[in-house]
C-alpha cells in the first residue's frame, strides 16, 4: 500500500516527542511539527485515492477509510497534544473537537482540490496551517 505507518512515522514525530517538546518549545512550533502533507512522490496517488473514496458508492466504507487512514492519525497526535498544552497552561483552553474538525476539513479539502486547477502548493498549504494554528493562543 502506498500509505503506510513507516511513511507516517518519518513525516510526523512520535507523540511522546511532541508532548516533550510542548513543555519547552513555543506552541506554534510544536503544532507545525504535526503538519502532514504526503511526500510529493505519492501525493497525487493519495489525492486520487481520497477523491475516489469521496465518490465511492459505498459511503460508509469510504468514510471509514478516510477516518482510519487519515483523520484518526492526524487527530491522534493533535488531540493529546492540545490537551497536554492546555493542562500545562501553554495555550488558552479551546474546544478541541471543533478545532480538529476545522483542521481535518482544511486538510481534506486541500487534498481534494489538488486534482483540480485550484491545486494547493506547499507554501499555500503551510500558510493555511499557520492560519489554522493561529486560532490557538499561547498563554
pLDDT in tens, 103-126: 888 877 776 676 667 777 878 888
Per-residue model confidence as pLDDT tens digits over 48-79: 766 666 666 566 666 666 666 667 777 788 99
100: DSSP letter: H
Residues found in the chain: 139
Radius of gyration for the chain, computed over Cα atoms and rounded to the nearest angstrom: 15
pTM: 0.74
Q: Residue 20 — pLDDT band, cuts 50, 70, 90?
A: very high
Contact status, residue 94 vs residue 82, Cβ threshold 8 Å: yes
CA–CA distance, 14 with 70 (Å, rounded to integer): 16
CA–CA distance, 89 with 86 (Å, rounded to integer): 5
CA–CA distance, 68 with 129 (Å, rounded to integer): 21
Cell numbers 511513511 correspond to 7
Q: Tell me the HSE value of 10 on the side-chain side, using a 13 A CA sphere.
A: 8
Contact status, residue 46 vs residue 2, Cβ threshold 8 Å: yes
Amino acid at each position: 500500500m502506498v500509505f503506510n505507518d513507516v511513511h507516517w512515522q518519518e513525516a510526523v514525530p512520535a507523540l511522546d516527542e511532541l508532548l516533550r517538546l510542548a513543555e519547552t518549545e513555543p506552541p506554534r512550533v510544536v503544532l507545525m511539527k504535526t503538519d502532514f502533507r504526503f511526500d510529493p512522490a505519492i501525493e497525487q496517488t493519495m489525492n486520487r485515492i481520497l477523491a475516489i473514496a469521496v465518490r465511492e458508492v459505498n459511503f460508509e466504507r469510504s468514510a471509514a477509510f478516510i477516518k482510519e487512514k487519515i483523520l484518526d492519525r492526524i487527530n491522534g497526535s493533535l488531540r493529546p497534544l492540545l490537551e497536554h498544552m492546555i493542562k500545562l497552561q501553554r495555550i488558552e483552553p479551546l474546544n478541541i473537537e471543533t478545532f480538529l474538525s476545522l483542521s481535518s476539513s482544511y486538510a481534506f479539502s486541500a487534498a481534494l482540490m489538488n486534482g483540480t486547477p485550484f491545486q494547493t502548493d506547499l507554501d499555500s498549504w503551510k500558510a493555511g496551517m499557520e492560519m489554522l494554528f493561529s486560532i490557538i493562543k499561547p498563554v
